[in-house]
Amino acid sequence: MRLDFRGKLFLVSVLLVLSVVLVAGGYLEGQIREWAHGRAEAELLAQARVGRVALAYDSAPADAVADQLGAASGARVTIIDATGKVLGDSEIAADELAAVDSHSDRPEVIAAVAAGEGRAVRYSATLGTDMMYIAVPFTAGAVTGTLRVARPLEEMDAAVRRLRIALGIAGLLSLAGAVVLSGLASHFLARTLRTLVEDARRAVDGEEPRVPAEPNDGMIGSLNRMAAELETTVGMLAAERSRFEAVLESMDEGVVAVDQTQQLTLINRAALGLLSLSIEHSGSTLAERIPIPALHELVQRALAGHPERREFETRTTPPRQVQAYASPLRNQQGAVVVMHDVTEIRRLERVRRDFVANVSHELRTPVSIIRANAETLLDGAIEKPEIARRFLDAQLRSADRLAALVSDLLEISRIEAGNYEISPDEIELEPIVAHTIDEVERLAQEKHIEITSDVPEDMTVWADEQALEQVLLNLIDNAVKYTPAGGKIVVRAVKRDDMVRVEVEDNGPGIEARHRARVFERFYRVDKGRSREVGGTGLGLAIVKHLAEAMDGQVGVEPSEPQGSLFWLTLPAAPD
């Protein structure tokens, strides 16, 4: 028997309703069974915890306590010591406990000892039925062990069966009502659907509909309008998201967003670079991707509704100093962290503090000497020519030292500010070295120090003549000052690829390894007493470093064999 359109619609409706009822019934039964098991576990766990408290305060025999707990809770209660021996059971008589097997191998007992709680569902040979077990550890005086509470699953299964019957009756009633409604709906919809099908067929065949209508009228027109509006909305959202991502990726600040469970929802490229992470890095939570405890605490505060700012150090190489600000989202469903790299700012702050402290210290000594000598002269020493001359000489030396210090400070400030004009050109190295040696020759002769030059006459460098002369003068002058009487100093130059290396080597006391990396810092002294004795300001090597770098070169220091120091300077070789 062939069904017409109305009959087919009615049959499809009935089958659909029946399918929904069956699926919903099966799903509800599974959910209720799961809920019942969970409820039973929760009740047994609560009973076990209550029993543990009772054991701690009840000095009665273990089997008596187990019987009392079992009678009060309606569950089977078993008390097991640390070796697995059953001390009491609400379902076993006291005189039969000795014959009970050791319970140390029970899964719930093992789990309770290891994790604080144990769960298991299995068949009980003692009671001959499936049981649910919950076990917790206990301590009662000098006795430690495990308290286990169990309940048969038959009660839950019976409740589920009763519920299944109720669901079946409700499903049948729903099905009957749905059949009646489907019959009525199919009757009224059949005519409309037949008209729509006929109009659609005519539209496909290129014919006019039987009843003329506006282009936007009818179900098809409504669907077309809805599709067009949906497409427009999706396009707007995509454009808005693209603009947001463009702004986010162009930011210099690192941005990290997390949800309420600290799952990462967003991290921009600046944050990846700041924290040295990769896009392919595994892990989806904040703790897995970014193992920085200070950042975790900051995010937890923000998730709790307290925006906060904090500074921490990354675990990158080299480490970076990061200032982060975390704030909760408006809907309290997450937090956003904005991170700024303040490594350079903090370094400059330290340099500024050290600079101010060192300058104050260096200026204090000559100023104090000048003041003290002036006071001594005013107190009467000026009337004694032989004493007055000694004090005036000390004042002059301190004034010269003060002038040299101020001059060096102005020089290094001008270099660092970029106001020192570097005009590189092709410079012959040998005449510059010879002129520099002539300037320090008098001091070298006073100390009987021999200075030799091993610089080829045709060697040229690409550098600024004035800056190069100042660098060489500082290096050779330092070598003369710190080399003991009768020593030797050698100035040499070697070409290596497209660079020229100039070396100033002496046989003085040398510089320990721990000082070599810092001798080019401002005011850093290897031997403070010796430095002040020879009149150094502590800025000469810092000026050397800045001038060398301004000429695209580098400076450094190495030990000389068998003793002494070797200061080197590399500069670009002049093009052929």
The pLDDT tens digits of the residues spanning 349-358 come to: 877 776 676 6
Helix H segments across 417-461? 429-446
- Examine the pLDDT at 536 and tell me if it is beyond 60: no
> Residues 483, 508: contact at Cβ < 8 Å?
yes
CA quadruple 508, 513, 516, 518: dihedral sign: negative
CA distances to 34, 373, 377, 442, 446 from 396, rounded to whole Å, are 97, 10, 14, 21, 21
pLDDT above 70 covers a percentage of the chain that reads 80
How far apart are alpha carbons 116 and 114 in whole angstroms? Answer: 6
Compute the average pLDDT of residues 196-212. 51
Q: Identify the weakest region by mean pLDDT among 42-46, 265-269, 368-372.
A: 368-372
| Mean pLDDT computed over 260-286 | 77
Q: What is the pLDDT of residue 183?
A: 67
Most confident of 137-141, 142-146, 491-495: 491-495
pLDDT of residue 530: 47
- Res. 504 pLDDT band, cuts 50 70 90: very high
Q: pLDDT at residue 203 above 50?
A: no
Query: Residue 218: pLDDT above 70?
Result: no
What does the pLDDT average to over 445-468?
89
279, pLDDT greater than 90: no
Q: Which helix (H) or strand (E) holds 65?
A: helix 62-73
Give the H/E segment covering residue 462.
strand 460-463
Helix (H) or strand (E) holding 476: helix 465-482
> Residue 204 — very low, low, confident or very high, per pLDDT cuts 50/70/90?
very low
Query: Higher pLDDT residue, 307 or 380?
Result: 307
pTM: 0.41
Residue in the block written with tokens 């097997």: 101
For helices 5-57 and 62-73, what crossing angle results, to 10°?
A: 150
pLDDT value at residue 503: 92
Q: What is the pLDDT of residues 175-194, one digit of tens each?
A: 677 667 766 666 666 666 66
pLDDT at 188: 63
67-76, 336-345, 409-418: range with lowest mean pLDDT: 409-418
Closest-CA residue to 67 (of 79, 53, 56, 59): 79
- Three-state DSSP at 267 gives strand
* Strand 450-454 with 488-496, pairing: parallel
Name the residue type at position 130.
Answer: D
Query: In this structure, which long-range contacts are made by residues 548-557, counting pairs with CB atoms below 8 Å and at least 24 apart in sequence?
Result: 548/471, 550/415, 550/420, 550/422, 550/464, 550/467, 551/422, 551/424, 551/462, 551/463, 551/464, 551/467, 551/468, 552/424, 553/463, 553/499, 555/471, 555/520, 557/511, 557/516, 557/519
16 versus 329: which is more confidently predicted? 329
Among 162, 136, 157, 148, CA closest to 73: 148
State whether residue 321 is helix, strand or coil: strand
Q: Are 286 and 258 in contact (CB under 8 A)?
A: yes
Alpha carbons 567 and 558: distance in angstroms, whole number: 6
DSSP letter assigned to residue 310: E
Residue 252 has pLDDT above 60, yes or no: yes
| AA letter at 99 | A
pLDDT of residue 206: 45
pLDDT score of 457:
86
- Using CA atoms, how far apart are residues 99 and 446, in angstroms rounded to an integer? 107
- The tally of CA atoms less than 13 A away on the side-chain side of residue 147 is 29
Is 60 exceeded by the pLDDT of residue 208? no
3-state secondary structure 381-407: HHHCHHHHHHHHHHHHHHHHHHHHHHH
What are the structure tokens assigned to 32, written together?
Answer: 């209720």
Instruction: Find the mean pLDDT for residues 489-499.
Output: 90
462 or 246, higher pLDDT: 462
pLDDT (mean) for 218-230? 59
SS3 content of the chain, % helix, strand, coil (to 5): 55, 20, 25
Average pLDDT over the chain, rounded to an integer:
79
Residue of higher predicted confidence among 529 and 299: 299
Beta bridge partners of 285: 263
Where is mean pLDDT largest: 198-202, 225-229, 418-422?
418-422
Distance CA 499, CA 550 (A): 15
CA 403 to chain centre: 50
Alpha helices in 205-268 (DSSP H): 218-250
